A = this chain, B = another copy of it.
Amino acid sequence: MDIKEYVTDIAKRAKAASRTLATLSTDVKNTALLKMADRLEEQAAAIIEANKKDMADGEAKGLSKAMLDRLMLDEKRVKGMADTLREVAGLPDPVGEVIRMWKRPNGLQIGKVRVPIGVVGIIYESRPNVTADAASLCLKTGNAVILRGGSEAIHSNTAIAKALKEAGAEAGIPADAVAVMEITDRAAVMEMLKLDKFVDLVIPRGGEALIKAVAENSTVPVVKHDKGLCHTYVDEDADPMMALKICYNAKVQRPGVCNAMETLLVHKKAADGWLPAIGKKFKEAGVEIRGCERTLKILPYAVAASAEDWDTEYLDLIISVKVVDSLQEAIDHIAEHGSSHSEAIITENYSHAQRFLQEVDAAAVYVNASTRFTDGGQFGLGAEVGISTSKLHARGPMGLEDLTTTKYIIYGSGQVRK
């Protein structure tokens, strides 16, 4: 079978399954999720065995230690996946919710109801737990899912999906509701992106190049899970101790993730007094500082930032630092260089806080808190499918609701249009 046929066949069958899924009751879906959780634990040995193949291949291919760590599965991580499934079973089911219902003067009763989207394609890399997480979120919302993990995790992903499918079948879930693309060629992804007749939404999670390729080639709507080039602006009226604590947290607590700070903007009036203090903390934590000219004068151990630094997501213990003349300059810098993910101001000035909240265009805008909070769990939304950096359909941490669309249902009694 050629790749096009292979992918089209998966997508067609997923579409057919999605029609059944849309009609399943919450009870059936939850029972399936709980069975799936048990089955993952029961088949832990087989899953770990499959994962060993991926690990061996990965080592042979020379994957980095960080990549191998993300790929690795053990008893604890399999249990972690099972627990996520149980957690998703416990969340409220958004499908069928009547968001609003109203009556028109002619007696038509019009309701806006949440319904599944249909077929969701998820493109991701390395972590095999995404297979279980994404499948559970899609099942809970009545969507069929096509999972396209990376080639480096194919044995693990296939073993996980096998356990999910077996348990799902026992609970009445159509076999094609969860599909794993076993051909992991880039060409197979490109085929899926053209199947807008069958696939309703694609969520790419991964490197910039992958996301760019998806956005440029897809006729299926895309919600991106893109990079986070997050700024923190320390205002002239910032509480210096609070600013230290927040900036340190935003950069150092977990530098490899999208909601970590990459660029620090400091008002010129705060620079002389405050920069040496944060510089010292960063230095102690091993953070490399790349500063603008004014920063270099205050922090002699910093290196000079190049023009590209302001557009770079380091995902590492590196930070770019710029001294600005005003709140306006900070807002302008963010508009030019930010990725509209998470942006923060540290200030005690009421008007500055309100202006920042209003004028900065990003998925999450903070006053006096660390950008690291941009996360479905931290926001209290329950499990998350990803963090949308798109503006349309969903923005910021995507919860179950964001895996639904709506339809209008209209109860009439013979009305005709005049």
Which residue numbers of A lie inside 8 Å of B, CB to CB? 19, 22-23, 102, 104, 108, 110, 115, 117-118, 196, 200-201, 215-216, 219, 221-223, 239, 242, 245-246, 248-250, 253-254, 335, 357-359, 361-370, 372-374, 378-380, 390-393, 395-396, 405-417
Contact = CB atoms under 8 A, between A and B. Distances in A.
A112 B413 CA distance: 38
B392 A242 contact: no
A196 B219 contact: no
A374 B112 CA distance: 13
A410 B373 contact: yes
Contact of A368 (B221, B335, B413): B413
Contacts of A415: 246, 368-370, 373
Contacts of A378: 104, 417
Given A221-B221, A372-B417, A378-B417, A362 B253 contact: no
A412 B369 contact: yes
A253 to B, nearest CB: 6
Contact of A414 (B223, B364, B368, B395): B368
Contacts of A379: 104, 110, 408
Given A221-B221, A245-B416, A246-B416, 8 more contacts: A23-B359, A102-B380, A216-B219, A250-B416, A366-B409, A367-B410, A368-B413, A368-B414
B246 A414 contact: yes
A216 B217 CA distance: 8
A361 B361 CA distance: 34
A409 B365 contact: yes
Contacts of A405: 391-392, 395
Given A380-B102, A392-B405, A417-B372, A411 B219 contact: no
B118 A408 contact: no
A108 to B, nearest CB: 6
B416 A22 contact: no
A184 to B, nearest CB: 24
